[in-house]
Amino acid sequence: MPLYEHVYLARQDVSQQQVEAVTADMRQVVEERGGIFTKVEYWGVKSLTYKIKKNRKAHFTLINIDASADALSEMERRMGLSTDIIRFMTIRVDTHETEQSVQMRKGDREERRGNSSNYRGSQRLDKSDKGDRVHRGERGNRDGSTFRARPQYGDQHSQES
């Protein structure tokens, strides 16, 4: 049977248990038609790049499926009818990845670092450190004495007469 990777996005206001229930329903649909889910990964709630059906965030789930096209089309039909699912995409692949997906590895990498809020890793963001920038010296007096405003429109005509 063909192999597929399927990712779906559920609305942000549904709970994780409801997302898992949707996954279980889809598993039942596929298994009734002779297919199997080889891997299911819940990626969590993530921000969307742009609004989808008035949602700014969504629950992301990845499913690796080994099923016929008939089983997959029935699952996609039911996902399209569900009000909890805002978007889904299925891709046919030659082989399934056996290790964790990139999204799951990204979370592990942040946990190993210890501080997930510092996205630059071990680099400290110090304001006194200017990097390779050359020091330009003092900028001099900034009292505004070198700045002259343009004459106003009315001022030009009054000076000419």
Print the domain residue range for 94.
Answer: 3-113
pLDDT confidence tier of residue 98, bands split at 50, 70 and 90:
confident
8 domain residue, yes or no: yes
Six-digit token string for 23: 């996954």
20 domain residue, yes or no: yes
53 domain residue, yes or no: yes
pLDDT one-digit tens code per residue, 20-43: 999 999 999 999 999 999 999 998
Structural domain total, the chain:
1
pTM listed for this prediction: 0.62
Helix (H) or strand (E) holding 10: strand 3-11
Which one, of 4, 14, 6, 5, lies nearest residue 82 by Cα? 14
136 domain residue, yes or no: no
128 domain residue, yes or no: no
144 domain residue, yes or no: no
CATH of the domain at 103: 3.30.70.60
